[in-house]
Amino acid sequence: MGNHFQQLLEKVNEIHDLEKVTWLLSWDREVNAPSAGAAIRSKQIGTVSKLMHELSVSDEMGELIERSADELNSAGTDRSSMEQSLVRFLARDYKENRRIPTDYVQRVSIAQGKANEAWKSARANNNFAEFAPHLAISIAHGQEKAEYLGYEDEKYDALLSQFERGMKTADVRRVFDAIRAETAPLIAAINERQDKVDDSILHQDFPVEIQQTVAPYFAKAVGYNFDHGAELGTAAHPFASSFSRYDARITTRWYANFISPALFGTMHETGHAIYEQGTGAELERTPLARGTSMGIHESQSRMMENLVGRSRAFWHAHFHKLQEAFPSQLGSSSAEDFYRAINKVSPSFIRVEADELTYNMHIMLRFELEQAMINGDLKAEDVPDAWNSKMEELLGIIPPTDSQGCLQDIHWTRPSYGYFPTYALGNFYSVQLLDAAKEQDPSIEAGLAKGDTAPLKAWLGKNIHEHGKKFDPPELVTMATGRPLDHEPFVRYAKAKFGELYEL
Give the Cβ contact number of residue 441 at 10 Å.
Answer: 17
User: Which three-class secondary structure state does DSSP give residue 243?
Assistant: strand
SS3 241: strand
Query: What is the distance, to the nearest Å, from the Cα of residue 453 to the centroid of all Cα atoms in its chain?
Result: 20
Distance CA 169, CA 157 (A): 6
In 3D space, the residue among 294, 306, 236 whose CA is nearest the CA of residue 268 turns out to be 306
Distance CA 81, CA 86 (A): 8
Q: How many CA atoms lie within 13 A of 180 on its CB side?
A: 14
Rounded Cα distance, 84 and 86, in Å: 5
Task: Give the residue numbers annotated as catalytic, written as ranges.
Answer: 269
- Residue 252 host element (H or E): strand 247-252
Beta strand extents in 349-419 (DSSP E only): none
CA 214 to chain centre: 24
CA dist 195 and 27 (Å) reads 43
DSSP 8-state assignment for residue 285: T
Which residue, among 173, 451, 191, 139, has the nearest Cα to 346 in the 3D structure?
Answer: 191
Q: Which of 338, 355, 311, 320 lies closest to 444, judged by CA?
A: 311
Rounded distance, CA 157 to CA 1, Å? Answer: 36
Q: Beta 233-234 vs 240-244: how paired, if at all?
A: unpaired
H or E stretch at 234: strand 233-234
Alpha helices in 441-468 (DSSP H): 442-449, 454-463
Interstrand relation of 247-252 and 240-244 (parallel, antiparallel or unpaired): antiparallel
Phi-psi region at 436: left, alpha or beta (left = phi > 0; alpha = psi -120 to 50): alpha
